[in-house]
Amino acid sequence: MLIPTVIEKSQFGERAYDIYSRLLKERIIFLGGVISDPLANTIIAQLLFLESEDPKKDISLYINSPGGSVTSMLAIYDTMIYIKPDIATYCMGVAASGAAVLLAAGTKGKRRALPNSEVMVHQVLGGAEGQAVEIEIHAKHILRVKDRLNKILSLHTGQSISKIEKDTDRDLFMTHE
């Protein structure tokens, strides 16, 4: 993937930034693509850096993601909750699955979905193979993760657990309205 470069001119000359570094300078983080461990580690590092720069100034998190690894998403989520700055979240394109959880985790009153974006929630996906005991262990773990994610969505949306359970029972697509 080609990463665009931005050239800034000042009295001291020119300086080139990759576009993501330039956005970070403005306290903007872009979460694009499948949520994986490497992407999560980058997002977490950016959140921690921006908090260390100014813990009182908002951070903007722009999301265009189909979701991905639950553990990677929860690492980002925990960091969002842990740091002091308010986090404004914006859905551009799609915030599906775990990305929808991150969108909802933005500071209340500072969560937005752009006009042509979609937000999709659903049940946790997972699979297991092996002996029946291992499959049972994984199934129980998936149910615990499902309950945890439903509680997180309920906490940030103000919806009841029963409503969240109903909404996440199947793929549910929502627009900015």
- Confidence tier at 127 by pLDDT (50, 70, 90): confident
CATH of the domain at 64: 3.90.226.10
Rounded CA-CA distance 78/148 in Å is: 13
Domain with 23, as residue range(s), is 5-174
- Domain total in the chain: 1
Query: DSSP alpha helices (H): ranges in the chain?
Result: 19-25, 37-53, 70-82, 98-104, 132-157, 161-167
Q: Which of 60, 72, 97, 117 is catalytic?
A: 97
Q: Is the pTM of this model over 0.85?
A: yes
Q: Which two tokens stand for residue 119?
A: 């937000």
Q: Is the pLDDT of residue 29 over 80?
A: yes
Mean pLDDT of the chain: 95
For the chain, the first-to-last Cα distance in angstroms comes to 33
> For the segment 144-173, what is each residue's pLDDT rounded down to a tens digit?
999 999 999 999 999 999 999 999 999 999
**What is the model's pLDDT at position 1?**
67
Q: Which of 69, 122, 138, 154 is catalytic?
A: 122
Higher pLDDT pick, 1 / 67:
67
176 is an active site residue: no
> For the segment 48-89, what is each residue's pLDDT rounded down to a tens digit?
999 999 999 999 999 999 999 999 999 999 999 999 999 999
97 is an active site residue: yes
Higher pLDDT pick, 38 / 8:
38
